[in-house]
Structure 1
């Protein structure tokens, strides 16, 4: 018996196998279907997808055997990977100097007489293992069978590449989740640490105004009002950040609620002025989803329609439709509109479309970024139709969930 030599690129090859992280993984139908095809096409009782590690030859998929691995030094695959661009075929192992006294060839039961293996390569051309077929008697593959075996090995390579990319995406998701967790903790900490001093500042401004207004001139009163308003603005800003980083639409998602009932509750909370007309949908749509998240979306959009409107009478039209996959909504107003050049950037955090709202206050650019985040988390999308001075219409959808 001649044991397979170690390839010159062995260290890089083993690093690639380690990065693939497939040894010891559970059986998968996508791989098993390939070994079944290889066995049927090549007319052999055994077919394997192997990974040749440092000391073992491990079988990711197998047909015709219950063995899960073999020692590398007696493996046929160890020889096959030495010429990674060629199909390695041994018609009769007893007639080959390398294998005639190999334990696998002379075993009392299940002896291997025939082997053919197509190396499986990574994206850099490093051989990781083989797609191989085996028989207990002498066998010869036709040219068509050889071509098919090599083509199936290419499919395994595609699956391996998908596995690597999925691992990269999972790692990226884990990193993003961790970053979001840190940001949520940071937002919560900042909110907790700043809310009390801000509350004290606002209350102190009110006390000073109530107790000493008689001793202050008009400019002094103006400064106190400015101090209080600054505190309130900063408080709103902190609350917005906290809402953005702590929103979790997965919790309590599966709820049944009626859209118009939800909208009426929101209108009550916003304390709508008499000069505002809000037209609700004609159909009180029954929705199965996350009422808290949908409510937060409508709260932000309706509030924006109120704030960014210079007309004597504010008109807001809300509509909804449904199809097999989505609930579709729209919030349209007669407000100041949004320049076309800013349609994309208004959904970015800390970005505003205008310098100030109806009351002259500058926005913080958190509301619409929160809305987009919530809509995306609900499996939907959002877009805006607007021109400066012509009003604004936000269309958004959420994915339907089967009850």
Structure 2
């Protein structure tokens, strides 16, 4: 029998608040199966996971009997934790603690860092003279309990980090929105004044002044495009929060392409058949609008064409967006999807790119469980291939 003397409580390790919180909030089923296995090792019919926190005891989980039937007197359990050994108590020890049982096997639950969480109590076991394999088996199950607690702790930490990142992203999104709004308002005035200046003074400026006015106009429109793209990029998180729905491809593409085919030099070919099941339609719309817009802007040919094809595998919806535009050098393939990366080329209207559109496409596809690749040849055109993970 163990020495009944209890050491000074100051000698105990400091409590681990998060571990105790995990034990308090975990469902009984999280540990009851492990308690069942403990019972099988020593052939006991009843067991409990007794937790000790700041001198108080409570029952986390039980097997074979409801929690209210267990005595939670701390003395016996503290003795086991202080000695950090598996003990077998007889009827006299148990009677002193107010427990009417013939015997009890007590297994300490202590972390590797010495934090004393509680005791596995196995009541009236048939096997009381434990061999080395039985002791080892009990300790292995204790390790499984500690592993489960550690996993829950890690998951809690992950959730806190995720919440912190979400909060920071919301703050960044708000900052970007406020700054963009503050830029767009005076920028709109600049664009309007420049256009008015050009209109009212047509033919009055010399060539140098006319070039300055043109540079100012191009820079203003480029900045507006940059600000608009930045807002779309940061608002893409909100797009991904939209619900999923079925999408008829013919109707979907008809709505989008009507925005571009008003120009007679533009031809967009798209699938006439196909239905996507449970996809984020708003995100998909943003993806295609960015890809089609880029295909048409960076195309200096007289006749501009975009061809969209669709296929489906067991895991993905697969699309290709092929154009006859200016093309992209192969050495830039790895960079074009990075935020703010541009090719230092102007579109057909003379405006430089912002390096935001393709970054937004990649961001949306990543969140939708897909990816994107490019094939391109300068002067011939480009083909963007991407996949979206199927949910059903």
Q: Please report the TM-score for the alignment, with normalisation by the length of structure 1.
A: 0.83
Which of 89, 92, 96 is the matching residue for 2:90? 92
Which of 285, 309, 319 is the matching residue for 1:319? 309
Q: Deviations over 1:213-241 (max 9, x none)?
A: 34322332332332232222111111111
Which 5+ residue runs of structure 1 have no aligned equivalent? none
Which 5+ residue runs of structure 2 have no aligned equivalent? none
Map residues 250-399 of structure 1 onto 2, 5 A cutoff: 250-271=240-261, 273-311=263-301, 313-378=303-368, 380-389=369-378, 391-399=381-389
Q: Please report the TM-score for the alignment, with normalisation by the length of structure 2.
A: 0.86
Q: Structure 1 28/341 Cα, relative in aligned 2: closer, same or farther at 3 Å? A: farther
Aligned residues: 386
Structure 1 contact 209–224 (Cα < 8 Å) conserved:
yes
Does the alignment pair 1:35 with 2:18? no
Does the alignment pair 1:6 with 2:15? no
Structure 1 contact 39–46 (Cα < 8 Å) conserved:
yes
Q: Structure 1 5/391 Cα, relative in aligned 2: closer, same or farther at 3 Å? A: farther
Q: Structure 1 142/172 Cα, relative in aligned 2: closer, same or farther at 3 Å? A: same
Structure 1 contact 310–336 (Cα < 8 Å) conserved:
yes
| RMSD of Structure 2 on Structure 1 (CA) | 3.0
Map residues 1-400 of structure 1 onto 2, 5 A cutoff: 1-3=4-6, 5-6=8-9, 8=11, 10-11=13-14, 14=15, 16-18=16-18, 21-67=21-67, 73-76=74-77, 78-84=78-84, 87-92=85-90, 94=92, 99=93, 102-103=96-97, 106-107=98-99, 110-111=100-101, 113-122=103-112, 124=113, 126-135=115-124, 139-247=128-236, 248-271=238-261, 273-311=263-301, 313-378=303-368, 380-389=369-378, 391-400=381-390
Structure 1 contact 131–149 (Cα < 8 Å) conserved:
no
Q: Distance in 2 between the 1:228 and 1:199 partners?
A: 11
Q: Structure 1 9/376 Cα, relative in aligned 2: closer, same or farther at 3 Å? A: farther
Q: Secondary structure at the match of 1:90?
A: strand
Q: Secondary structure at the match of 1:57?
A: strand
Q: Distance in 2 between the 1:223 and 1:279 partners?
A: 41
Q: Secondary structure at the match of 1:345?
A: coil
